[in-house]
């Protein structure tokens, strides 16, 4: 069941440049190809270990076109997806077992303690202000049942630098200046030729602090890609089933090593609502 909402709906207070970026429709295929598959498979791997046994009632906040909602529903979970981008909601609503609607992570539609799990696999890094991130986490805490897990994704502070070096774009003055600003402030500007949009790149310690401020108890952090995403042969490795399993196993072994958390492009922070 889908509710359609225009981007200017006052209930969805997302920056116009973010809505415009995702309205291009590129997000639906991003995690299905190339090196980004590592992020997808590792997210799936970690979540399958953290989530309760199906069927659980899952709220997928900022779930995009349903890339994770799809397999969660196949696993037997009852999935409710919320996203500010109407195109994403239309795409997700076509998936079997997924209910999708337009909404804002800072004002969740659910009743108190109405979900077994809340996922925020995109909202935090598109909320540049700390107060908004804490509010989104507080809303997640409100709607999850006592003892239920809340899992949020962040983009690491130096992901832009690493990615620009990997793509050899850091040697361009404009890209280098932007990345150098990100290292200091964590804010990513949308003026980068369409490579990404407005975002906040966090230090690994920031999400746990924000969880605590939202009255969530942190239970773990998981680096998704490790250093593997920076390797020149990663796409070929992921194409080969044996090498893919070796890469996934290697990144799993170091996923919570404190000295390596910041090397991953993406980080999952998990917490629970108290009883």
Which backbone phi and psi does 72 adopt, to 5 degrees?
-65, -40
178: pLDDT confidence band, cut at 50, 70 and 90? Answer: confident
Nearest CA-CA partner of 156 in 205, 111, 114, 198? 205
Distances (CA, A) of 172 to 169, 175, 247, 265: 6, 6, 31, 21
Q: Answer whether the bond into residue 156 is a cis peptide, omega within 30°.
A: no
Distances (CA, A) of 274 to 87, 142, 147, 214, 217: 35, 11, 5, 11, 7
Question: What's the whole-number mean pLDDT along residues 57-71?
Answer: 98
The reported pLDDT for the residue numbered 2 is 40
Any idea where the domains of the chain sit in the sequence? 15-79+112-273
- Global confidence as pTM: 0.93
The reported pLDDT for the residue numbered 251 is 97
Which backbone phi and psi does 91 adopt, to 5 degrees?
-70, -45
- The pLDDT tens digits for 85-113 are 999 999 999 999 999 999 999 999 999 99
Distances (CA, A) of 73 to 143, 144, 183: 20, 18, 38
Nearest CA-CA partner of 61 in 49, 72, 50, 48? 72
Does residue 78 contact residue 116 with C-beta atoms inside 8 Å? no
Residue with tokens 């200017």: 8
- The pLDDT tens digits for 75-90 are 999 999 999 999 999 9
Instruction: Note the helical H segments in the chain.
Output: 16-22, 27-30, 37-50, 67-74, 86-93, 130-143, 159-166, 173-185, 206-213, 234-239, 241-253
User: How many Cβ atoms from other residues are within 10 Å of residue 146's Cβ?
Assistant: 10
Quick check: 22 pLDDT over 60? yes
Does residue 161 contact residue 171 with C-beta atoms inside 8 Å? no
Q: How far apart are CA 71 and CA 76, in angstroms?
A: 9
Highest mean pLDDT among 189-198, 229-238, 254-263: 254-263
Pick the range with the lowest mean pLDDT from 1-15, 129-143, 209-223: 1-15
Given the candidates 3.40.50.970, 3.40.190.10, 3.40.50.150, 3.40.605.10, the CATH classification of the domain at 15-79+112-273 is 3.40.50.150
Token pair of 150, please?
């809340």
Question: What's the whole-number mean pLDDT along residues 149-165?
Answer: 95
């Amino acid at each position: 069941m889908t509710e359609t909402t225009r981007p200017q709906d006052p209930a969805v207070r997302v920056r116009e440049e973010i809505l415009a970026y995702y309205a291009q429709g590129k997000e639906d295929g991003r995690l299905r190809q190339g090196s980004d598959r590592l992020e997808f498979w590792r997210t799936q791997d970690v979540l399958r270990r953290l989530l309760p046994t199906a069927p659980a009632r899952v709220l997928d906040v900022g779930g995009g076109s349903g890339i994770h909602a799809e397999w969660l529903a196949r696993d037997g979970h009852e999935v409710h997806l919320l996203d500010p981008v109407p195109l994403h909601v239309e795409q997700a609503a076509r998936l079997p077992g997924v209910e999708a609607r337009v909404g804002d992570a800072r004002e969740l539609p659910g009743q108190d303690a109405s979900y077994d799990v809340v996922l925020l696999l995109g909202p935090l890094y598109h909320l540049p202000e700390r107060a908004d991130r804490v509010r989104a986490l507080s809303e997640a805490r409100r709607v999850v049942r006592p003892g239920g897990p809340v899992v949020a994704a962040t983009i690491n502070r130096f992901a832009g630098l690493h990615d620009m070096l990997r793509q050899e774009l850091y040697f361009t003055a404009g890209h280098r200046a932007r990345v150098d600003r990100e290292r200091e402030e964590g804010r990513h500007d949308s003026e980068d030729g369409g490579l990404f949009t407005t975002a906040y790149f966090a230090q690994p310690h920031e999400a746990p602090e924000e969880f605590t401020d939202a009255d969530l108890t942190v239970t773990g952090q998981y680096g998704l890609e490790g250093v593997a995403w920076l390797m020149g042969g990663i796409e070929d490795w992921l194409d080969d089933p044996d090498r893919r399993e070796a890469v996934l196993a290697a990144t799993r072994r170091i996923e919570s090593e404190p000295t390596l958390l910041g090397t991953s492009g993406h980080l999952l922070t998990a917490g629970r609502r108290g009883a």
